[in-house]
Amino acid sequence: MKPAPFEYVKAGSVEEALQALTEDAVILAGGQSLIPQLNARERRPGRLVDINHAGLGVIRRTDGVLRIGATVHQAALERSRIVKEHWPLLAEVARRVGHVATRTRGTVGGTVMHADPRAQLPIALLALDAELVMQGPLLVELAVPPLPEGARTGYAEHGRGWPEAAAAVVRAPGYARVVVTGGRAREVEHALLDGASPREAAELVGGEGHRHALLADVTRRALAQC
């Protein structure tokens, strides 16, 4: 359970990180998913480019838009007053990611780029219409627009840690955004906009059998919070 040898480059800026990104290099952010893969030798990169000192660790709100630097820790998102006040969905979801001692290292950008379909934060970020700000191959920032006027949000999941099914929803007059494990549930959104009850709409979530039952259940529970 030791990684294969690699070269380590600590990038002091985005430019340095981009320059260091050779073909066999991978980016090291929080490392909470990457390092287990290295330890199990599922991945054997020649070089790790550490972006934790590249100036991407800041959360700020400018012109109503939340800007989350790529290496902002999940714990910082969980603790942020700005996030709690203006994007309560993100604060609620952040505290469910992994465990205390992985959220202190794990980054918001890392969980997005790692792109495990069961990961909670990407589901919430998609429901909030977040944009990925890239500089070449490097994610530098996530930009989350303000919630629509009068919006209410909800989140529910089944199973702990890596939920088998999760749903994040944003509802406002004339607006519905429903994202479940696997992607947007557009049929549910259309039904809600057409006046269907949350219970009826949740049934349209897709999937078959047990999977459908789980997805419909989390969607119903998330909608009930709105």
Partner 1 sequence: MLTITINGTPYEAEVEPRTSLADFIRAQGLTGTKVGCEQGVCGACTVQLDGEPVRACLVLAVQAAGCAVRTIEGLEDGPLQRAFHEQHALQCGFCTAGILMTADAFKREHPEASEQEVREALSGHICRCTGYHPIVRAILSA
Residues contributing to the site for partner 1 (CB under 8 A): 1-8, 10, 28, 31-32, 35-36, 38-40, 48, 50, 52, 75, 98-102, 104-105, 160-161
Strands 138-144 and 152-158: unpaired
- Residue 53 Cβ, how far from partner 1 at the closest point, in Å? 10
H or E segment and range at residue 89: helix 88-94
- Residue 39 Cβ, how far from partner 1 at the closest point, in Å? 5
Q: What are 38-41's contacts with CB under 8 Å, separation 24+?
A: 38/3, 38/4, 38/6, 39/1, 39/2, 39/3, 40/1, 41/3, 41/4
Q: Which is nearer to partner 1, 1 or 115 (CB)?
A: 1
Burial of 29: CB neighbours in 10 Å, binned 0-12, 13-18, 19+: buried
- Residue 44 Cβ, how far from partner 1 at the closest point, in Å? 11
Q: Which is nearer to partner 1, 93 or 179 (CB)?
A: 93
Strands 47-50 and 25-28: parallel
Q: Which is nearer to partner 1, 50 or 203 (CB)?
A: 50
H or E segment and range at residue 135: strand 131-135
Q: Which is nearer to partner 1, 64 or 159 (CB)?
A: 159
- Residue 73 Cβ, how far from partner 1 at the closest point, in Å? 9
Q: Which is nearer to partner 1, 22 or 39 (CB)?
A: 39
Tokens of 84: 């709690």
- Residue 36 Cβ, how far from partner 1 at the closest point, in Å? 4
d(CA 173, CA 40): 49
